[in-house]
Amino acid sequence: MASQVLDSTAFPIIDSHIHLYAKTHIPTLSWTAELPEDHPLNRQRSVQDYKLVSGKSQNLLGFVFLETDRKSGLGSTDWEDAFKEVDFLVRIATGRPVEGEGHAAEDGRLVLGVVPWAPVPAGVSLLAEYVEKVQSKFLDGGVPNLLKGFRYLVQSRPAGTMMEDGFIDGLKWLGEKGLSFDLGVDARSGGLHQLEEACDMMRQVYESGSNLKIIINHFCKPDLRLTASQAKEGHHDFISWRQSIERMASYPTAYMKLSGWFSELPPQDKDHPEEISLLVEQTKPWADVVFKAFTPSRILFGSDWPVCGVGGPGEESWQHWHDLVEAILTSQNLSTEAKRDVWSGTATRAYNITISTKSRL
């Protein structure tokens, strides 16, 4: 698609959370072996695919790429697949497509930030070795400013991982280097103990004086299969989730992504998506907690594409999620500036992104 001038009546959008992988990379992903062959995530998900689903939004500036949980380990001999993912993103960002990967030379303009995997619990020495190698790849590609931070997906790790000395020290080191950390925990499937552990981890990091930016994914994946009435009546899971969210929000350099809900809500029929007004009503107790605790200045829009299509209405999930977010912001009675923060302003601050006045699509 050709570049278009932003629609002056709408907000510029930064999608702060998407995943990309080529078909040839699927065997290197740690989770695809568990999926049936015809699963929507068990096929290539490229920039070309992303442009098709998000193309209705003329105000989309671009995206932040999040690591896709490649097969990897803490030792330096286990980093090959993670490095391949970085090389893939550098090729996209620098406009050097490889045949079959689903991106073109002009697509580099869409890449506003990259958050790769990192062996955070390995200790500072190994973490520094890994980060230096990743930084050199972006530097050699001429795009050093696109490396924004790292993620180590703790939602699938053993209890206690976030409290290990190596993990805490690794996070502090990232903060010292001006790099962010994306925190992925799962209250519904992984258990509320993950949130409690994350809160204790954050307390240790921030009591040390660290200025690390911790960018929390997906509202911590709450149990959105509870009804709004159950939440309002004080269901234990909702109360526990709320208390953890409020603790997390007490740290001024913690941010929250408005993303990932379709995986936690009851699955939708792709031919008959749930009405936006009903979804707003169903999720309002959770939205109210986060908007009060973090405020829009620390909340950022993310689609979680292509994962949003699992539970969401198929290929229409990106647009359906966009429309739901738009309705949520209206229901929160936000000012124009506050809405602008959620759509893009917060992302520019959380990830140190500089945006132009033109869209990338």
pLDDT for res 359: 40
Closest CA to 220 of 200, 251, 191: 191
3-state secondary structure of 39: coil
Q: Which residues of the chain have pLDDT under 50?
A: 1-8, 357-361
How far apart CA 12 and CA 57 sit, in angstroms, is 9
pLDDT for res 4: 39
Question: What secondary structure, in 3-state letters, does 179-223 show?
Answer: CEEEECCCCCCCCCHHHHHHHHHHHHHHHCCCCCCEEECHHHCCC
Report whether 168 contacts 201 (CB < 8 A): yes
Report whether 251 contacts 202 (CB < 8 A): yes
- Identify the structural domains of the chain with CATH numbers, from first to last: 13-223+236-261+293-305+336-350 (3.20.20.140)
pLDDT tens digits along 297-341: 999 999 999 999 999 999 999 999 999 999 999 999 999 999 999
pLDDT for res 6: 44
Q: What is the pTM of this model?
A: 0.95
pLDDT for res 58: 74
Residue position matching structure tokens 């991106």: 103
